[in-house]
Amino acid sequence: MKTLLFKIYFLFFIGLITISGCTKLESKIYSRLPTEEFFADPKAVDNAQDLVTIAMPELGNGEQIRLSNASGGQLLNLFNRQTDNSSSYMKDAYLHNFDKNLRKQPWNLMWTRDFYAGISKANLTLAELESLKTKSKNIRKVIADIKVARAYFFLQVLDCFGNAPLDTLFGADPKTVKTNSRLEIYNFVEKELRENIPFLDTRTNPKNRMNKYVGYAMLAQLYLNAQVYSGTAAWDKVVAPCDSVLKGPYSLTSNYFSNFEEENATSENMLLAFRNIGKVNTFILENLHEKGAPAIGVKGAGWSAFVGSADAYNIYDAADKRRNMWLVGPQREAAGSERIIDGVPNTGPLIKFIAKVRVPGSVPVRVIDSLVTLNHQVATPRFGITVNNPRLADLEIERMVGVRNVKYYPKSGIVLQNEQMSNDYVLLRLADVILMKAEALVRLGNSSAAKAELDKITTRAYGSSNFNILNPTIEDIYNERYREFMWEGHSRRDNIRFEIANPSTPYWSKARPPLKPNADTGPIGPGRFNNMLYPIPAEQLLLNPRLVQNPGYN
Q: What global pTM score does this model have?
A: 0.86
- Packing angle of the helix pair 212-224, 182-196 (nearest 10 deg): 150
Residues 302 and 384 in one domain: yes
Let me know: does 487 contact 75? Beta carbons within 8 Å. yes
CB 70 within 8 A of CB 89: no
Residues 139 and 258 in one domain: yes
529 in any annotated domain = no
Whether residues 212 and 317 fall in one domain: no
The tally of domains found in the chain comes to 2
The whole-angstrom separation of Cα 418 and Cα 484 is 26
Q: Which of 387, 402, 421 is a domain's end point?
A: 421
Three-state SS for 275-326 is CCCCCECCHHHHHCCCCCHHHHCCEECCCCCCEECHHHHHCCCCCCHHHHHE
Determine the Cα–Cα distance for residues 447 and 439; give it in Å rounded to an integer: 9
For residue 536, count other CB atoms closer than 10 A to its CB.
Answer: 24
Q: Are residues 188 and 46 in the same domain?
A: yes
Among 248, 274, 300, the domain boundary falls at: 274
Kindly tell me the burial class for residue 132, based on how many C-beta atoms sit within 10 Å of its own C-beta (0-12, 13-18, 19 or more): middle
Element (H, E) at 129: helix 117-130
Instruction: Verify that 119 and 142 share a domain, yes or no.
Output: yes
The reply to whether 193 falls in a domain is: yes
Q: How many helices (H) and strands (E) does the chain have?
A: 22, 10
| H, E, C per residue of 525-547 | CCCCCCCCCCCCCHHHHHHCCCC
Using DSSP, state whether 482 is helix, strand or coil.
helix
Residue 436 covered by a domain: no
β pairing state of 404-405 and 326-327: antiparallel
Give the residue from 381, 375, 404, 407 showing the smallest Cα distance to 76: 404
Residue pair 354/374 in contact (Cβ under 8 Å)? The answer is yes
Judge if 404 and 306 occupy the same domain: yes
Q: Are residues 286 and 243 in the same domain?
A: no
User: Which phi-psi region, left, alpha or beta, contains residue 528 (left: φ > 0; alpha: ψ -120 to 50)?
Assistant: beta
Determine the longest span between alpha carbons in the chain, in angstroms.
Answer: 74
Domain with 308, as residue range(s), is 282-421
Give CA–CA dist 529/532, Å, rounded. 6
Q: How far is CA 182 from CA 46, 161, 259, 414, in A?
A: 33, 8, 33, 45
- In this structure, the answer to whether residues 270 and 294 fall within a common structural domain is no
**Cβ atoms 305, 287 nearer than 8 A:** yes
CATH, residue 174: 1.25.40.390
Do residues 269 and 366 both lie within one domain?
no
Task: Among 421, 445, 475, identify where a domain stops.
Answer: 421
The answer to whether residues 242 and 385 belong to one domain is no
Q: Is residue 535 part of a domain?
A: no
If we measure between CA atoms, which residue out of 237, 214, 139, 225 comes closest to residue 183? 225
Nearest partner of 30 among 48, 10, 8, judged by Cα: 8
Instruction: Let me know whether 269 and 287 are in one domain.
Output: no
In a domain, 302, yes or no: yes
Contact (CB, 8 A) for 322 and 483? yes
Question: In this structure, are 307 and 415 located in the same domain?
Answer: yes
pLDDT in tens, the chain (554 residues): 334 434 433 443 333 333 223 323 333 433 444 566 666 666 767 778 888 887 787 777 778 898 899 889 888 775 544 334 445 677 778 777 787 776 557 888 899 988 999 999 999 999 988 888 877 788 899 999 999 999 999 999 999 999 999 989 887 777 788 999 999 999 999 999 999 999 999 999 888 889 999 999 999 999 999 999 999 999 999 999 999 999 999 999 999 999 998 776 677 889 998 865 556 678 888 888 877 888 888 888 888 788 887 778 889 999 999 999 988 877 788 887 788 888 877 788 877 665 444 444 444 444 443 433 322 222 222 233 344 434 334 455 556 667 889 999 888 888 887 556 778 889 999 999 999 999 999 999 999 999 999 999 999 999 999 999 999 999 999 999 999 999 999 999 999 999 999 988 888 877 554 444 444 554 444 434 457 899 899 889 988 989 999 887 87
